Amino acid sequence: MDHFAYRNGVLHCEEVPIPAIAEAAGTPVYVYASATLERHYRVLAEALAGLKPQIHFALKANASLGVIATLARLGAGADVVSGGELRLALAAGVPARLIVFSGVGKTDDELRMAIATGIYQINVESEPELDRIAQLARDLGRRAPVALRVNPDIDAGTHVKITTGTKENKFGIEWARAPAIARRAKALAGIEFVGLAVHIGSQLTSLAPFEAAFLRLRDLVALLKGEGIEVRRLDLGGGLGVPYEPAKNETPPLPADYGTMIRRTLGDLDLDLSFEPGRLLVGNAGILVSRVIRVKEGATKSFLILDAGMNDLMRPALYDAYHDIRPVLEPRPGAPRRAIDVVGPICETSDTFARQRLLPALAEGDLVAIGTAGAYGASMASEYNGRPLVPEVLVRGGDYALTRPRPSLDEMLARQMRPRWLDEPGP
């Protein structure tokens, strides 16, 4: 469910008309609904009730300070994959004791920051990383809480670029090697071994891969327990999908069904469980608002050219992802539609949001909303083609705030420096 709906023929985010935001912030602009964020968090929390859960929002999905702070006020922790995300989580009000640090390439500086800050746990992705964490923790006079991220060799059945749980992927420790590495972790000075972690991919639309992975974790818990190695926590990652293309009757699992499956597979273990949702919480909470630059009639097809580009929303170019596109002014009932390619201004053929999409007539200056853009939209944006980063707006009821302004071209230029030798006389 989202909170973007037409009122009196105009698309609103909660109680705020989208044209008012576009006028104030310019376009393109990301718009997030607080009510959707809050609802999705509560639905997931209710689905997991009784499981000793802790929800850690995956910042890679959406790095907006306002979004993170909204979820933190509800009790969410954070799943971070860089030192920058760690700082951002703390700045948004997430307590260090609720932060999980994941990722295969943590640097020494990032690990020192995580250990010194006293975060909840570091998810270890390899044996060399475990040894490095142990050394850094000893140098700091600390013990680092670690969970071993297990690669269960489970095909998540999702897009090849967002699957993370097969043996061909770079993530995690081969599950058959996990017991031996857990033994080492238990014996290493500077390490506090707390448990196991798993994350098999993103945008999963079936519970079967989750269940297979969780049952492998259960077997590892039993094996380690039999050796006298205590496992206190299981980090079950994220990955539940959201509906992007309703016309295809996408039906990702409901959080309630996800919770039921976890109770069936792991509920009797009485362990602390961590969850790292990203897309599930924020995907439907955001839209990208763009303005039509012009309509171009080509020899064989027509193009709707927007002021948003692939640098603002990368998913269609990167994953061939589908996003709903609708006019901000509601079309009249029965208005004719035609097939048109929806493209941006970037000098790349891949700068295409939709091919031959059936849309009502749109003209220069009209506003459109690209839906389900709250996840992996602004967080993946860039300044490619010299375009300023897209601004972000958070709405709550009838109020809204600009949470990240669009930089000016002067500000962008000021971040670059001219090498001194270029100002010296030439040959």
319-355: per-residue pLDDT in tens? 899 999 999 999 999 999 999 999 999 999 999 999 9
Select from 16, 28, 20, 10 the least CA-distant residue to 331.
10
**Stretch 41-69: mean pLDDT, rounded?**
97
Which residues are identified as catalytic?
Answer: 347
Res. 413: pLDDT tops 70: yes
Element (H, E) at 58: strand 53-58
pLDDT category of residue 248 using cuts at 50, 70 and 90:
low
Element (H, E) at 122: strand 121-124
* Dihedral angle sign, alpha carbons of residues 270, 271, 277, 281: positive
The partner residues of 341 in beta bridges, in order of sequence, read 303
**Stretch 77-103: mean pLDDT, rounded?**
98
**Stretch 396-404: mean pLDDT, rounded?**
98
Other C-beta atoms closer than 10 Å to the C-beta of 358 total 11
Res. 109: pLDDT tops 60: yes
pLDDT at 153 (0 to 100): 74
pLDDT at 249 (0 to 100): 60
Res. 19: pLDDT tops 80: yes
Res. 401: pLDDT tops 60: yes
Better-scored residue on pLDDT, 201 or 351: 351
75/79 Cα distance (integer angstroms) = 13
**Stretch 47-67: mean pLDDT, rounded?**
96
Q: Which of 18-32, 96-110, 234-248 has the lowest mean pLDDT?
A: 234-248
Tokens describing residue 36 = 């959707």
CB–CB of 380/61 below 8 Å?
no
pLDDT category of residue 243 using cuts at 50, 70 and 90:
confident
Res. 50: pLDDT tops 70: yes
pLDDT category of residue 158 using cuts at 50, 70 and 90:
very low
Res. 372: pLDDT tops 70: yes
CATH says 103-275 is which class? alpha beta
Res. 215: pLDDT tops 70: yes
Q: Give the residue carrying structure tokens 């390439």.
A: 105
pLDDT at 426 (0 to 100): 74
Q: Do domains 4-31+284-414 and 103-275 have the same CATH topology?
A: no
CB–CB of 179/222 below 8 Å?
no
Domain ranges of the chain: 4-31+284-414, 103-275
The string of DSSP letters for 365-419 reads T-EEEE-S-SSSSGGG---GGGPPPPPEEEEETTEEEEEEPPPPHHHHHHT----
Tokens describing residue 69 = 């702070």
137/143 Cα distance (integer angstroms) = 6
Res. 156: pLDDT tops 70: no
pLDDT at 172 (0 to 100): 64
pLDDT category of residue 173 using cuts at 50, 70 and 90:
confident
**Stretch 11-25: mean pLDDT, rounded?**
98
- Look up the CATH architecture of domain 4-31+284-414: Beta Barrel (2.40)
Whether residue 427 is preceded by a cis peptide bond, meaning omega within 30 degrees of 0, is no
The partner residues of 196 in beta bridges, in order of sequence, read 148, 234
Q: Give the residue carrying structure tokens 């992996």.
A: 376
Predicted TM-score (pTM) of this structure: 0.93
330/255 Cα distance (integer angstroms) = 32
% of the chain with per-residue pLDDT over 90: 82
Q: Give the residue carrying structure tokens 């919480």.
A: 281
